[in-house]
Amino acid sequence: MQRRPFLLGCGCLAFAAAAGVHADEYDYQVPPRFSRPDPSSDEGGLWAFMDREEQRLKRSSFVIRDPALHDYVNRIACRLAGDHCPEMRVYLVRTPYFNASMAPNGMMQVWSGLLVRMQNEGQLAAVLGHEIGHYLQRHSVERLRDIKSRSSFAQIVGIALGVAGGGNLGALAQVGILAGGLAYGRDQEREADRIGIALMARNGYAPAEAGRVWGQLLEEYEGAKAAGEDVSTTNILFASHPPAEERREVLAAAAKRDWPGAERTGADEYRAALASHRMGFLYDEVRRRRFGESLVLFDRLLKASPRDGQVQYFKGEAYRLRGREGDTKLALEAYRAALEMDNTPPEVHRSLGTVLRQTGEDAEATRAFQRFLELKPDAEDAELIRSYLTGSQS
């Protein structure tokens, strides 16, 4: 029972032809408002289950409750969803993985690992539009029915099934709550991509940003591989989605179509909205210990903002925490570069001191620690650092 977003019998075909545009799969017609499904139906079951998951999510300590950031993301999601806006609730979750999801009951989650990777508002809009696409096309229920019909056969032939969706959801289990329900099939992902780009372009965002989201992720993946890191569990989304290259290419091609008035990227607005949270997100990112990926991300952020001392500091942290042969030197270079930039956190001096101790440059280490204490006398480790200076402790 596929619902196809074709233009049929609404006269739109004629209008589009007159405008010189071919009616095609990107001329998405948003369905009318949803009403709550019958609780005895499978859709009703999913819906109500997600309601209860939402109750749990609401109580979670991991939800970001800052009204300013919430409203910012919510406004964008609302514009994209149009008439369906009242059906949605947006939750920002502090977890350093790249993910956004939308459950069939209208609960939308955006994880901080995704927020920190978006370069501008347009990219965020592409992702939110994609999730809204899943929601508007009710892919979750489709998927549930599909799995149910196929899985009996699989059982008989003794194929072990994973959790519904067949993907590796081990990492998702870390969230502790179902992230939007079931994993989607590849055709559904492709459809959601098409809808997402249509929605973003209609709301004035430059559609070229959509493909860039995947290009950026791919670069991180390549960076990790090049650094010799284990990439098998890199991004859970790579498992269940069409390959990132395909998505990047298809979306890049779609961006070349005629989208009148779709030019906005909103880089400044996005940076401003994220500003007060970003240091925490970068801290979480580096603690993931996927340094190859993190370094690609940090370099990209620096390319857009070459004097961003905050990002430069975390670049140094990535080297320090990775601690491979030669990393100490790279960390020192990175921290020293940060000192010349703007918006550099005082912690850079502490990290400098820590690394200089490793290289035996004790006098300079002492100066760095002193500088840190001057800037942050109430740091949680102030007593400890003072003891380094007096030499009374190792």
Binding site for other proteins (CB under 8 A): 39-40, 42, 44-49, 52, 59-62, 94-95, 144, 147-148, 150-156, 158, 160-164, 170-171, 173-176, 230, 233, 287-289, 321, 323, 350, 354, 357-358, 380-381, 383-385, 387-388, 392-394
For residue 390, CA distances in Å to 366, 383, 386 come to 10, 11, 6
Strands 100-102 and 107-111: antiparallel
Smallest distance from other proteins to CB 376, Å: 13
Geometric angle at alpha carbon 263, from 258 and 264, rounded to 5°: 150
For other proteins, the closer CB: 325 or 383: 383
Smallest distance from other proteins to CB 4, Å: 26
Residues forming a β-bridge with 108: 90, 102
156 burial (CB, 10 Å; 0-12 / 13-18 / 19+) is exposed
Q: How far apart are CA 109 and CA 179, in angstroms?
A: 8
For other proteins, the closer CB: 256 or 390: 390
For other proteins, the closer CB: 136 or 365: 365
Tokens representing 256 are: 């070349």
For other proteins, the closer CB: 305 or 328: 328
Nearest to 318 by CA among 341, 343, 351: 351
Q: What is the DSSP track for 21-54?
A: ----TTSPPPPPPP-PPPTTSHHHHHHHHHHHHH
Smallest distance from other proteins to CB 13, Å: 39
Residue that is written with structure tokens 């990290």 in the block: 351
Smallest distance from other proteins to CB 54, Å: 12
Smallest distance from other proteins to CB 59, Å: 5
For other proteins, the closer CB: 288 or 329: 288
Do residues 92 and 64 make contact, with C-beta atoms less than 8 angstroms apart? yes
For other proteins, the closer CB: 151 or 203: 151
Smallest distance from other proteins to CB 147, Å: 6
Sequence-distant (6+) residues with CB within 8 A of 6 are 23, 25, 29
Smallest distance from other proteins to CB 145, Å: 10
Q: How far apart are CA 105 and CA 54, in angstroms?
A: 9
Do residues 348 and 340 make contact, with C-beta atoms less than 8 angstroms apart? no
Nearest to 62 by CA among 94, 92, 108: 94
Smallest distance from other proteins to CB 383, Å: 4
For other proteins, the closer CB: 194 or 241: 241
What order do you get walking across the sheet with 100-102 strand by strand? 89-93, 107-111, 100-102
For other proteins, the closer CB: 23 or 321: 321
For other proteins, the closer CB: 191 or 293: 293
Smallest distance from other proteins to CB 101, Å: 16
